[in-house]
């Protein structure tokens, strides 16, 4: 039998959702090698990996560089360790010489493809292993969690819509927990912007800025329903058994919605808007505007030049769906 070298996986992600979408690939590597994998990540994402049972040792990039600072890199990766890297930057090539097209590939498959394999439907579920729940937050048995986040404009539901949803939930005596942050650094231009405003008439708890990732996971895990757009918490909720209601945006939900029990339809509904062109992932707009099918960035404006994002769910459709879920006991 060949003497196996230590295996290292570098996951170059800096956001919650992108990082969680790498967990299926790590799990597959664990079973392929039949041993735990060493993982190298940006320092800010270590909290996402810290309890993962498939990891031998967890390194930040600085810790990894320090460990091998006296080694010749080419000799190291060819003779002493197996080193894999996933989630290369747009325009760069992975270790197999393939340039990855981020907008057009399922987020979980991006990681797998960068590593040279494909994940099947029963392998695509993400995992997160939280710390013990603090039990410091007292909640009723039945409650709904909403995540009113600010993101790219084409996947940001207006504050006014969230307020109307809060009004509806309160009027129907549905206890509502608000999650998120009041400020956030935009992942592209690093401009600090308002993330969540305070809501009027909230029947429930506003926990923005008050929970860490583990406590948020426990909140989601015990909720009757979670309402969000394409956010990091969408992927975190996908590690639970809670019913997820995803609001419409310009991104095709088939590329991001959670896999659970081998399907994207388990305890999940997507509420589409009037427009379902999904222009963020629609290659024809790259050809039309940039001359290549692989360049459709998540722009601030509608690519059909409409004054509003018609891909967004209407408040009416969202409230009708919630009524249906409660009345039919699907939750």
Per DSSP, the residues of 233-278 read HHHHHTTSSSEEEEEP-SS-GGGTSPPBTTBS-TTEEEE--S----
- The domain segmentation of the chain, as residue ranges, is 6-123, 144-327
What is the distance of C-alpha 167 from the center of its chain? 27
CA dihedral (229, 262, 281, 236) positive or negative: positive
Encode pLDDT of 141-196 as tens digits: 999 999 998 777 888 899 999 999 999 999 999 999 999 877 654 443 333 344 55
Strand, coil or helix: 304:
coil
Q: Alpha-carbon distance 155 to 146, whole Å? A: 15
Q: Alpha-carbon distance 264 to 5, whole Å? A: 36
Q: Alpha-carbon distance 42 to 129, whole Å? A: 18
| Domain 144-327 top-level CATH class | alpha beta
Average pLDDT for 223-231: 96
Which pTM does this prediction carry?
Answer: 0.92
Q: Alpha-carbon distance 285 to 23, whole Å? A: 31
pLDDT (0 to 100) of residue 98: 66
Q: Alpha-carbon distance 27 to 57, whole Å? A: 15
How do strand 55-60 and strand 37-41 relate by DSSP bridges? parallel
- Whether the Cβ atoms of residue 308 and residue 314 lie closer than 8 Å to each other: no
pLDDT (0 to 100) of residue 296: 63
Looking at the chain, the whole-number percentage of residues with pLDDT higher than 90 is 66
- Whether the Cβ atoms of residue 277 and residue 304 lie closer than 8 Å to each other: yes
What is the number of residues in the chain? Answer: 331
pLDDT (0 to 100) of residue 297: 61
> Quick count: other Cβ atoms within 10 Å of Cβ 102?
17
Encode pLDDT of 247-291 as tens digits: 999 999 999 999 999 999 999 999 999 999 998 888 888 888 888
- Whether the Cβ atoms of residue 146 and residue 176 lie closer than 8 Å to each other: yes
């Amino acid at each position: 039998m060949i003497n196996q070298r230590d295996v290292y996986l570098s996951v170059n992600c800096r956001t919650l959702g992108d990082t969680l979408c790498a967990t299926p690939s790590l799990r597959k590597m664990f079973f392929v090698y039949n041993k735990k994998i060493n993982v190298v990540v940006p320092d800010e994402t270590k909290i996402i990996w810290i309890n993962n049972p498939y990891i031998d040792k967890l390194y930040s990039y600085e810790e990894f560089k320090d460990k091998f600072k006296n080694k010749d890199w080419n000799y190291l990766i060819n003779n002493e360790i197996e080193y894999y890297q996933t989630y290369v930057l747009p325009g760069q090539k992975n270790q197999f010489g393939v340039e990855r097209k981020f907008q057009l590939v399922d987020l979980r498959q991006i990681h797998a493809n960068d590593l040279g394999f494909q994940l099947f439907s029963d392998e695509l579920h993400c995992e997160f292993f939280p710390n013990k729940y603090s039990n410091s937050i007292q909640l009723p048995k039945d409650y709904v969690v909403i995540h009113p986040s600010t993101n790219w404009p084409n996947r940001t539901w207006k504050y006014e819509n969230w307020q109307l949803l809060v009004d509806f939930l309160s009027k129907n005596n549905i206890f509502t927990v608000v999650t998120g942050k009041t400020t956030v650094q935009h992942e592209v231009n690093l401009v600090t912007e308002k993330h969540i405003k305070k809501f009027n008439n909230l029947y429930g708890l506003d926990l923005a800025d008050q929970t860490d990732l583990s406590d948020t996971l426990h909140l989601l895990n015990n909720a009757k329903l979670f309402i969000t757009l394409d956010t990091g918490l969408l992927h975190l909720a996908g590690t639970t058994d809670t019913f997820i209601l995803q609001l419409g945006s310009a991104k095709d939900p088939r590329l991001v919605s959670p896999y659970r029990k081998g399907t994207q339809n388990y305890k999940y509904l997507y509420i589409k808007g009037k427009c379902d062109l999904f222009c963020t992932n629609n290659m024809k707009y790259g050809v039309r505007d940039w001359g290549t099918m692989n360049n459709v960035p998540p722009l601030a404006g509608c690519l059909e030049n409409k004054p509003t994002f018609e891909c967004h769910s209407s408040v009416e459709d969202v409230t009708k769906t919630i009524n249906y879920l409660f009345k039919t006991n699907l939750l």
